[in-house]
């Protein structure tokens, strides 16, 4: 029994892309119970019991044998080992999920790495929360077994979408190709290309912006008062940081903002978050951004353009043109990629365990430093009232100093939005 990958799923195969979730807890954690909880989730989801294989020239999900099934790994290190685990890829031809308990002194971190061919941000978060729910439900007692294995494969999301008129799809593709020709977007230079890394330095890095609860609340209130989305504010801050980093003349540069669009809520019936499939597509916004651009006006433009694209159904067209991307790679060229899971609840743990931190960051094994430039990845999620932004990157592309300056500029821009409005002019000053 196996299942062929759909075009949305296949796009992640070459990237070796995965979602990495982590939960840090304080207290006495029982690793045997956690292992049993993870085994129960593996039994529940066929997608977690498979590998990617090639059959007749097509990529398929293929079941693992019983002795190949993923099991909880336990290592010492605690929260300080996040970067080390983040850098460990999923094995080629092996399980598409890995669960690791990083034992520390007083605090422990549990990390899940899930291949993007079988998950998106929403299902990844749902899996993490369900793991802790299963741990709590065990109530300190090991089960006799994992129960029955579910054999019901989830259907590819492309099979659940409404059809698109072939002529309209061709016209849309033609317009997108022409736009990329007429208005090629400008990306950040890869400043790490040509430099040498220190021996043993990790390939993948993650910079982080984490707002305090009150800062997050002020940002939300500001967005509501101004009639813009928080996504628009974050995208504007990221685009502004990129534009300043590009330097040069003060005139406008053509920048792209790629925004993933959740498909789960747009299907009939809606797709539950627990279903392990990548149910996401994208909308690309191309904007002219000057060095002195008003960040609030830019946020309003991003918000309005994304809403209009969704109303037109552009996200469905983007999904259907996925198979054409290898022919027209410029279709995905962008300056920033801003994912946004919105406000979600973090894991609920039993008495005696306190959650101290939750993170979600995408990772890839295949980058292309030879391109010389590329997008800034901005992964946004608000766990339990704190806005967190992860900035993952390849140290073979971006230098740590480059990313640290981008992180600082993004943080400063968001804090400026969250600050009180200037009473005299009614504007928000965002430092360059």
Q: So what's the pLDDT on residue 161?
A: 84
The per-residue pLDDT for range 215-237, each reduced to its tens digit, is 999 999 999 999 999 999 999 99
Widest CA span in the chain: 69
Cα 324 to Cα 321: distance, rounded to the nearest angstrom? 5
| pTM of the model as a whole | 0.93
Sorted by sequence, the CB contacts under 8 Å of residue 286 that are 6+ apart come out as 179, 183, 185, 254, 255, 256
- Residue 269, token pair as written in the block: 């019936």
The per-residue pLDDT for range 114-153, each reduced to its tens digit, is 999 999 999 999 999 999 999 999 988 888 877 788 888 8
pLDDT of 429 strictly over 60: no
Residue 35: other Cβ atoms inside 10 A: 18
Q: So what's the pLDDT on residue 420?
A: 59
Confidence of residue 425 (pLDDT cuts 50, 70, 90): very low
Q: So what's the pLDDT on residue 428?
A: 42
Confidence of residue 322 (pLDDT cuts 50, 70, 90): confident
- Residue 248, token pair as written in the block: 């040069």
Q: So what's the pLDDT on residue 119?
A: 96
378: closest CA among 226, 232, 272, 214? 232
429: closest CA among 292, 280, 307? 292
Map residue 104 onto helix, strand or coil: coil
The per-residue pLDDT for range 23-66, each reduced to its tens digit, is 999 999 999 999 999 999 999 999 999 999 999 999 999 999 99
């Amino acid at each position: 029994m196996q299942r062929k990958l759909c075009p949305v799923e296949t796009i992640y195969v070459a990237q070796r892309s995965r979602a990495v979730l982590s939960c840090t807890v304080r207290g006495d954690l029982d690793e045997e119970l956690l292992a049993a909880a993870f085994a129960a989730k593996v039994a529940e989801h066929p997608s977690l019991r498979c590998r990617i294989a090639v059959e007749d020239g097509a990529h398929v999900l293929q079941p693992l044998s019983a002795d190949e099934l993923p099991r909880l790994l336990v290592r010492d290190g605690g929260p300080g080992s996040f970067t080390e685990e983040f850098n460990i890829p999923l094995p080629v031809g092996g399980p598409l999920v890995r669960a690791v308990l990083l034992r520390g002194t007083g605090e422990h971190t549990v990390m899940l790495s899930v291949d993007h061919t079988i998950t998106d941000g929403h299902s990844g978060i749902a899996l993490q929360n369900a793991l802790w729910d299963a741990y709590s439900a065990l109530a300190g007692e090991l089960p006799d077994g994992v129960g029955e294995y579910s054999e019901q494969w989830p259907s590819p999301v492309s099979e659940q979408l409404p059809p698109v008129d072939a002529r309209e799809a061709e016209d849309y593709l033609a317009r997108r190709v022409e736009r990329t020709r007429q208005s090629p977007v400008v990306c950040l230079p890869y400043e790490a290309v040509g430099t040498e890394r220190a021996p043993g330095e990790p390939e993948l890095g993650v910079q982080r912006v984490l707002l305090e609860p009150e800062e997050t609340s002020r940002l939300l209130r500001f967005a509501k008062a101004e009639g813009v989305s928080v996504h628009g504010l974050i995208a504007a801050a990221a685009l502004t940081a990129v534009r300043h980093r590009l330097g040069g003349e003060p005139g406008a540069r053509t920048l792209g903002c790629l925004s993933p669009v959740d498909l789960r809520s747009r299907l009939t019936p809606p797709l539950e978050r627990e279903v392990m499939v990548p149910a996401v597509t994208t909308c690309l916004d191309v904007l002219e951004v000057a060095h002195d651009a008003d960040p609030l006006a830019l946020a309003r433009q991003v918000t309005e353009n994304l809403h209009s694209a969704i109303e037109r159904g552009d996200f469905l067209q983007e999904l259907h043109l996925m198979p054409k991307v290898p022919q027209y790679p410029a279709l995905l060229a962008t300056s920033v990629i801003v994912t946004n899971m919105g406000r979600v609840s973090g894991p609920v743990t039993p008495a005696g365990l306190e959650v101290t931190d939750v993170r979600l960051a995408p990772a890839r094994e295949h980058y292309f430093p030879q391109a010389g430039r590329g997008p800034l990845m901005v992964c946004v999620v608000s766990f339990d009232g704190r806005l967190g932004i992860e900035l993952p990157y390849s140290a073979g592309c971006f230098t740590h100093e480059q990313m640290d300056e981008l992180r600082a500029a993004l943080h400063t821009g968001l804090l400026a939005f969250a600050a009180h409005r200037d009473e005299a002019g009614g504007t928000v000053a965002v430092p360059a």
